[in-house]
Chain A
């Protein structure tokens, strides 16, 4: 009896050690591409209104037209009600929207990626988008259907950023030394980043299809690893007051937290006035957001926007 229990214990110990070893190895692998470590703070700011006003009226008009955003939504059949809501609401303001689903789904038109693995879906979607549209769009915006986005604010944010530079921005999360853009807040890639990403997608050592050894690494982290090999780094997007512009939380959650943390300044301090995304909305809430953002007006309050971004011609829009 004693020898059995001792061998059992030995087994337990050996098993745990083995497991710990593998985890360590796995973690080292993620942080591997750290060699090109930038010491700058990875924050990107929205354009300053005064600077925009300095640009002539005509040039501003040119600027507002020159923007083409291609929206990629990765969906699965279980997301069907969110899919419907997203389709009917904010995505109409993208210059082009494409739904990439895990499988063919008769209810809605989509491009089937024939895999239910999120990272594989993401790779294929980016590949498809780049191969087909690299000459037509200079910014690529990828989201899940739980996210609500205000495309005009995205365009304003990107206004003075050169898409031939490798931009990879959104709501960043730091995982140790490693920083990545959370997919739940929306991922924005410039055409240069898309180019670099696509050249790497074929190199399994740099951009493997199966990132983690034992545990699955989320697709947004895998993307960041790939991009890092290409010298593209995640940057957190903020407004001129330093507030996040891409949000992984819903408005409701922000308000709740604000009521608990600084109850004397809830609406003023909860979120950015030029927020681009909120996440975690129900389908009904998306419709209400659409109404609140684009239709409801308080009479007598005039907002002098420096730029107007119009939705695409002929689109069925609010």
Chain B
């Protein structure tokens, strides 16, 4: 009998230990605070064609980032407003049907509003967004076709509406005010274009497609004309290089977009890549492509690429 009561006692102890443990777990869950959850520190590798934040990027309705612009009561924007009138920029954004909700929509809600005119170029027309249909296919090998047709469209419909014509991707961020400051010193009737200048393959250099580039009115005229007269053709699908070669043929100057201290203002990668020393390894192709010697990052940044 004694052994039985001993066994009973043991099971009792086990039971109480388990009960205690279960209860403590339950209570700690119930009484745990909402405020304690550590926010997710997201580590992004911008070079991965990311499928980030899967699924939840379907946006309802219009997004207006500028709704607050009246809120900055102590902000004096006279100079910026003045430049807006004086230096008219038409922006066209290279996008596609699959990127309208994910990327182009955000461009439209943010920096694109500061262009004097903005157009979204896609392989197919979308009346709601709206996008211009270029009647091409989608894909990296179509980029130069899209570029040629986009510039053609802009030339045929909006030539007199702007002085400068900017091409940007849907994962680029542009600070238009700073772009106007750069362009204000140049005459749009002269054949010139600006961007992040790369040195290989083209004698005068060519502009990186990713960082975006902007053509003067004269440059645009010459570019469109060159395809009509076969001076330039769809020589390759490498958009920025092919365009750069064409520019050289038609005598459009590759301009120097650096700021007054010699720092670059167009950037082909996200800010982190450019700001953090040693982020891009010394062996990376980028260092050999830059036309100008590297200096620390500019105060007057114009463009950033691969922003998610």
Contact = CB atoms under 8 A, between A and B. Distances in A.
A296 interface: yes
A25 interface: no
A173 B36 CA distance: 10
Contacts of A15: 15-23
B48 interface: no
Interface residues of A, number: 64
Contacts of A146: 41
A203 interface: no
Contact of A301 (B59, B177, B297): B177
Contact of B74 (A16, A18, A303): A303
B22 A4 contact: no
A299 B300 contact: yes
Contacts of A298: 80, 175, 177-178
B20 A266 contact: no
Contacts of A267: 65-66, 68, 110
A259 interface: yes
B21 to A, nearest CB: 8
B43 interface: yes
A266 B177 contact: no
A68 interface: no
Interface residues of B, number: 71
Contacts of B80: 298-301
Interface stretch (B25-33, B133-141, B158-166, B213-221): B25-33
B180 to A, nearest CB: 7
Contacts of A296: 175, 299, 301
Nearest to A305: B74
A279 interface: yes
Contacts of B77: 300-302
Given A7-B15, A284-B272, A268 B68 contact: yes
B214 to A, nearest CB: 15
A23 interface: yes
Contacts of A56: none
A11 B68 contact: no
B295 interface: no
Contacts of A92: none
Nearest to B60: A263
B72 interface: yes
B35 A173 contact: yes
A295 B259 CA distance: 14
B141 to A, nearest CB: 33
A260 B61 CA distance: 10
A273 B24 contact: no
A170 interface: no
Given A4-B8, A287-B272, A282 B14 contact: no
A308 interface: no
A79 to B, nearest CB: 12
A146 to B, nearest CB: 8
Contact of A8 (B12, B20, B35): B12
The DSSP consensus for interface residues of chain B is helix
B271 interface: yes
A6 to B, nearest CB: 9
A250 interface: yes
B65 A266 contact: yes
A248 interface: yes
Contacts, number: 185
A14 interface: yes
A138 B280 CA distance: 43
Nearest to B7: A4
A182 B75 CA distance: 33
B133 to A, nearest CB: 27
B83 A300 contact: yes
A35 interface: no
Contacts of B73: 49
B74 A304 contact: yes
Given A266-B65, A267-B65, A248 B300 contact: no
B178 A18 contact: no
B9 A19 contact: no
Interface string B228-241: 00000000000000
Given A7-B12, A15-B23, A291-B271, A263 B74 contact: no
B14 A11 contact: yes
B6 to A, nearest CB: 11
A78 interface: no
Most buried by A among B16, B79, B177: B16
A250 to B, nearest CB: 6
A3 B15 CA distance: 13
Interface of A: 3-5, 7-16, 18-20, 23, 27, 49, 146, 173, 175, 182, 214-215, 218, 248-250, 252-253, 256, 259-260, 263-269, 273, 279-282, 284-285, 287-288, 291-292, 295-306
Chain A to chain B: the 3 pairs with minimum beta-carbon distance, closest first: A11-B15, A268-B68, A15-B19
Interface of B: 4, 7-9, 11-24, 27-28, 31, 33, 35-36, 38-43, 53, 56, 59-68, 71-83, 109-110, 175, 177-178, 180-181, 271-272, 275-276, 279, 297, 299-301
Given A11-B11, A279-B39, 14 more contacts: A7-B8, A10-B12, A11-B19, A15-B18, A250-B41, A264-B63, A266-B65, A285-B272, A288-B271, A296-B301, A297-B299, A299-B300, A304-B76, A305-B74
